[in-house]
Amino acid sequence: MELLKRLENYSKTEAEVVAFKNAFTDETITYSELWSYSDKIAKHINETVECDKKPVVVYGHKSPLMLAAFLACVKTGHPYCPVDISMPQERLKDIVEASETKLLIAMVDTEVTAVNKWNKSEVDTMVSEDAVELPKDNYVSGSDVYYIIFTSGSTGKPKGVMITADCLDNYLDWMEQIMNRSTDKKQLTYLNQAPFSFDLSVMDTYTSLYTGGTIWSMEKRVQEDMGLMHSKLKESGLNVWVSTPSFMNVCLLNKEFNGENLPDFTTFLFCGEVLTNKTARELMKRFPNAEVINTYGPTESTVAVTEVVINDEMAGSEHPLSIGYDKPGTKIFIMDDKYTYPGKPEGEKGEIVIAGNTVAAGYLNQPELTADKFFKLSTPDGEMWAYKTGDEGYKEKELLYYCGRMDFQIKLNGYRIELGDIESNILEMDDVTYCVVLPIEKRGEVKGLAAFVTLDHPVEDEFEYSQSVRKYIAEKLPHYMVPKKCIVLDEMPMTNNGKADRRALKEML
């Protein structure tokens, strides 16, 4: 596969380029170390488990050897399942069981066991051994599964999304084009903020590895200490930002977060949730020389499948930002529940269906769920492998627009309401930094709406503030869209994936 070929080439260049750096511990790994360490770990994998293409679970946080372990797995024909320490132990256990793994590589201590289990000191010993000649015939390639990322499933058990070597190569070809277009600079430094168990990390980690860049990784404790984070950022030399918009909103609270203090940024890439006009505007004001790019996609189609560079006109408009143009090799359709080509015409809303060369092979060991969500779409150009996203959207002049989850639409007293509509409006208030609106339900029936907000200042009288939000919204939206109450939070609860934790918010009602 192209990625592995390139990594081998980078490992042989004379200049020792750092492939990955942990910004807190300052631990690094160069391309040549990454290559040789992964060979050494791979040798032990070959000696421990048979080459049956079963996944290897790699548990840990943001240490350089995590990457070497990932690479070792795919060099021996095994997909890897990355599990971050932010996952509860129960979740790790579920993943070990669901993946039927024969090997758990635990770079951080855990009680969870598997048929074979290695800890960090064992891996440290492996990489300190003499160099090995590893045969290349077992490398994952083509339709072999490269990684499996587990996402939460509606049944309460996680489901493993199988991304093949071809999916990843196709995705990276596109990302390389985006980066070449975005900047003339070579050997870029990429922010890694998302945990490895979240597909967003693939955007920074693998784009950087594919193009010979450096991953500058911020572990959890840096992200949780704003002062530390900003001092680290200032000395980072970062060029490419990759995060959810939520994380950016937190960073924007610090007025020092700007192009004067961080002059090397060329590109800001967002994915995973709605990028609001307000966030884009603020960011473009603070970093006038950098590009802000909105991308969209689910784990099931290798991170992202659309992208658009946000310009002043888009950011300044009342119209929510587009999520972008289809990437090469992908066609996005807007469909109804018949899922037939060519789907709905331009301008009409429907379910976003993604077809093309980065759509996952399916869910690991879940043929029924796979058959439910993935299908072969017949088109005049032949069959395309497709995924039903459950997202609602529409297209206009080839640009895709996101209208929320199909399941976030609610009815209140017969009125149809998009919660995102209210959220965007509340977010337009100057002092609101984050907003989530949820239905207040009694016995399954929606009785009203509640808005949760974080502000850029403390509030003394919450009731009075709540009234001011209601008044503001009443001026902009129909009466039935005005939240009954507005709850001011010091901090928005977040899921491990860096999105607002709607379940935790619901419990506050």
Tokens 């994952």 — which residue?
Answer: 140
Quick one: angle between helices 120-127 and 31-48, nearest 10?
110
Instruction: Give the residue, chosen from 93, 117, 230, 405, that forms a contact with ligand AMP under the rule CB under 6 A.
Output: 405
The backbone region for 75, taken as left when phi is positive above 0, alpha when psi lies in -120 to 50, beta otherwise, is alpha
Distance from C-alpha of 387 to C-alpha of 360, rounded to nearest angstrom: 8
For the bound state, the minimum distance from the C-beta of residue 503 to ligand AMP, rounded and expressed in Å, comes to 15
For the bound state, the minimum distance from the C-beta of residue 110 to ligand AMP, rounded and expressed in Å, comes to 24
Q: Assess 421 for contact with ligand AMP (CB under 6 A).
A: no
- C-alpha distance from residue 118 to each of 41, 86, 104, 109, 130 (Å): 11, 19, 6, 10, 19
Look up residue 281 and give its amino acid. Answer: R
Instruction: Give the residue, chosen from 77, 82, 272, 356, that forms a contact with ligand AMP under the rule CB under 6 A.
Output: 272
Question: Is 37 in a helix, a strand, or coil?
Answer: helix
How would you label 292-314 residue by residue, b for 16+ Cβ within 10 Å and e otherwise?
A: bbbbbbbbbbbbbbbbbebeeeb
CB closer to ligand AMP, 211 vs 389: 389
Q: Assess 389 for contact with ligand AMP (CB under 6 A).
A: yes
CB closer to ligand AMP, 302 vs 454: 302
Distance from C-alpha of 325 to C-alpha of 238, rounded to nearest angstrom: 26
| Interface stretch with ligand AMP, choices 38-46, 108-116, 189-197, 268-276 (CB under 6 A) | 268-276
Quick one: angle between helices 200-210 and 2-12, nearest 10?
50
Q: Assess 391 for contact with ligand AMP (CB under 6 A).
A: yes
For the bound state, the minimum distance from the C-beta of residue 301 to ligand AMP, rounded and expressed in Å, comes to 9
Q: Assess 84 for contact with ligand AMP (CB under 6 A).
A: no
Distance from C-alpha of 502 to C-alpha of 507, rounded to nearest angstrom: 9
**Token pair of 182 as six digits:** 């975005």
Q: Assess 423 for contact with ligand AMP (CB under 6 A).
A: no
For the bound state, the minimum distance from the C-beta of residue 213 to ligand AMP, rounded and expressed in Å, comes to 22
Instruction: Give the residue, chosen from 271, 335, 364, 435, that forms a contact with ligand AMP under the rule CB under 6 A.
Output: 271
Longest Cα–Cα distance of the chain, Å, equals 72
For the bound state, the minimum distance from the C-beta of residue 300 to ligand AMP, rounded and expressed in Å, comes to 7
Closest CA to 384 of 392, 375, 393: 375
The residue count of the chain comes to 509
For the bound state, the minimum distance from the C-beta of residue 44 to ligand AMP, rounded and expressed in Å, comes to 32
For the bound state, the minimum distance from the C-beta of residue 248 to ligand AMP, rounded and expressed in Å, comes to 12
Closest CA to 56 of 40, 35, 41: 41
Distance from C-alpha of 351 to C-alpha of 393, rounded to nearest angstrom: 6
Cβ(178)–Cβ(307) under 8 Å? yes
Instruction: Give the residue, chosen from 4, 66, 323, 438, that forms a contact with ligand AMP under the rule CB under 6 A.
Output: 323
Q: Assess 359 for contact with ligand AMP (CB under 6 A).
A: no
Instruction: Give the residue, chosen from 22, 276, 279, 497, that forms a contact with ligand AMP under the rule CB under 6 A.
Output: 497
Q: Assess 151 for contact with ligand AMP (CB under 6 A).
A: yes
Instruction: Give the residue, chosen from 296, 363, 387, 434, that forms a contact with ligand AMP under the rule CB under 6 A.
Output: 296
**Token pair of 92 as six digits:** 């790790």
Distance from C-alpha of 495 to C-alpha of 344, rounded to nearest angstrom: 34
Q: Assess 273 for contact with ligand AMP (CB under 6 A).
A: yes
For the bound state, the minimum distance from the C-beta of residue 320 to ligand AMP, rounded and expressed in Å, comes to 9
Q: Assess 351 for contact with ligand AMP (CB under 6 A).
A: no
Q: Assess 243 for contact with ligand AMP (CB under 6 A).
A: no
Instruction: Give the residue, chosen from 39, 199, 219, 291, that forms a contact with ligand AMP under the rule CB under 6 A.
Output: 199
Q: Which of residues 425-484 bind ligand AMP (CB under 6 A)?
A: none
DSSP letter at 366 equals -
Site mask, ligand AMP, residues 108-127, x = CB under 6 A?
--------------------
| Interface stretch with ligand AMP, choices 2-10, 132-140, 290-298, 425-433 (CB under 6 A) | 290-298
Q: Assess 251 for contact with ligand AMP (CB under 6 A).
A: no
Instruction: Give the residue, chosen from 164, 208, 243, 294, that forms a contact with ligand AMP under the rule CB under 6 A.
Output: 294
**Token pair of 211 as six digits:** 């193009």
Closest CA to 289 of 324, 249, 262, 307: 262
Write out 215-236 in H/E/C secondary structure: EEECCHHHHCCHHHHHHHHHCC
CB closer to ligand AMP, 400 vs 486: 400
Q: Assess 402 for contact with ligand AMP (CB under 6 A).
A: yes
Residues at the interface with ligand AMP (CB under 6 A): 151, 199, 271-275, 294, 296, 298-299, 323, 389, 391, 402, 405, 497
